[in-house]
Amino acid sequence: MTSEVALNTTAVVLEQPERVVLSRLALTPATERDVVVDIAYSGISTGTEKLLWTGRMPQFPGMGYPLVPGYESVGTVVSAGRESGFQVGQSVFVPGAKCYGDVRGLFGGAASRVVVPGDRILAIDEGLGERGVLFALAATALHVTNVPGAVQPDLIVGHGVLGRMIARIAVAYGASPVVWETNAKRREGSAGYSVLDPAEDTRRDYRSICDVSGAVDLLDTLVSRLAPGGEVVLAGFYDQPLSFTFPPAFMREARLRIAAQWQPADLVKVREMVSEGRLSLDGLISHRSAPHRAEHAYSMAFGDPDCLKMVLDWRNLQ
């Protein structure tokens, strides 16, 4: 029964921009449709969570401080409602939670325990361990092309974790993408694709360019590299208005598409690709931290170019 598990948690709370504390919070009582999950690992996103950290996140429903961040968590079900569809002991991916009362859950996964509806989570292989936190980014990467009429990108801008995931998925589907990366150290770690300094690339016939850099001043450059009728896909998160010069885009009859948030079907497809060995989650987590050093971990995740992916290990706080 859900009532047999204590409904409180230790959570990362972003009190204000660049101010993180670890707090003990009461959890919303679980219903018969909910599960209670003890979190083992949670990832720190260098996209949307960085905007929360810096205070540059655009306003939208649910935005405000204090908040519990995090939408990349994995753990074990310790209590399951009769209508949740899960059983105690299952390993699951948790894409965030809203279970902290007056403290906003945006996105709510950075905690030692969460209460979440069963239809929000995904059963995963226990053997994935900390790599399970990468399911959100993998689903985001898959969603770039998991829509009608989309093709795999032949140029990807940015070789962070999301760029690497998009490239790995493209390779899994038979493509041979090029990735642009200005940071020399981040040009390491390719897997079946090429990584170049953009200054060394002279091609101007890319059919599909996927930008994950979040840079707001790149559109003219990307349009100039398109083949006629080519497409630029925006898969990063942009906190300022974007603009481009019309005549070059007109001459190429360029198309612009925005890749939105992943959908549940994307998560299921990622699980299938991982279990079949078509998509590897290896080699993407570079740093780990205990939750009591969360402020340092968040600062490093957003400020250290050598930090590819930071994971908080919650196992000793259960």
Q: What is the pLDDT of residues 84-105, one digit of tens each?
A: 999 999 999 999 999 998 888 7
Percent of the chain whose predicted confidence (pLDDT) is above 70: 97
| Token pair belonging to 95 | 């894409």
Strand partners of residue 257: 233
Please state at what angle helix 264-275 crosses helix 135-143, rounded to 10 degrees: 110
pLDDT tens profile 254-287: 999 999 889 999 999 999 999 999 999 999 999 9
Give me the pLDDT at residue 110, please. Answer: 97
Distance CA 257, CA 134 (A): 24
pLDDT mean over 168-173 = 98
Mean pLDDT, the chain, rounded, equals: 94
Separation in Å, CA 309 to CA 73, 155, 298: 13, 22, 11
Give me the pLDDT at residue 318, please. Answer: 58
Kindly provide the residue ranges of all beta strands, DSSP E only, lying in 63-125, ordered along the sequence: 67-68, 73-80, 91-94, 104-105, 113-117, 122-123
| Residue 79 and residue 35 in contact, taking contact as beta carbons nearer than 8 Å | yes
Please provide the distance, in angstroms rounded to a whole number, between the alpha carbons at the two ends of the chain: 19
Q: Indicate the pLDDT class of residue 1, thresholds 50, 70 and 90.
A: very low
Distance CA 171, CA 137 (A): 16
pLDDT tens profile 49-81: 888 888 887 776 667 889 999 999 999 999 999
| Residue 235 and residue 211 in contact, taking contact as beta carbons nearer than 8 Å | yes
Give me the pLDDT at residue 316, please. Answer: 87
Residue spans of the domains in the chain: they are 2-123+286-317, 140-258
Give me the pLDDT at residue 266, please. Answer: 97
Strand order, beta sheet including 206-211: 194-196, 178-180, 155-157, 206-211, 226-234, 255-258
Percent of the chain whose predicted confidence (pLDDT) is above 90: 84
pLDDT mean over 163-169 = 98
Give me the pLDDT at residue 257, please. Answer: 96
Q: Indicate the pLDDT class of residue 123, thresholds 50, 70 and 90.
A: very high
Give me the pLDDT at residue 111, please. Answer: 97
pLDDT tens profile 174-220: 999 999 999 999 999 999 999 999 999 999 999 999 999 989 999 99
Please state at what angle helix 161-172 crosses helix 135-143, rounded to 10 degrees: 60
Distance CA 180, CA 167 (A): 11
The model's pTM: 0.94
Give me the pLDDT at residue 61, please. Answer: 65
Give me the pLDDT at residue 5, please. Answer: 79
CATH topology of domain 140-258: Rossmann fold (3.40.50)
Does the structural domain 2-123+286-317 have CATH classification 3.90.180.10?
Answer: yes
Give me the pLDDT at residue 105, please. Answer: 76
Give me the pLDDT at residue 53, please. Answer: 87
What is the pairing mode between strands 310-313 and 34-44?
antiparallel
State phi, psi for 57 to the nearest 5 degrees: -65, 125
Give me the pLDDT at residue 42, please. Answer: 98
Distance CA 130, CA 287 (A): 11
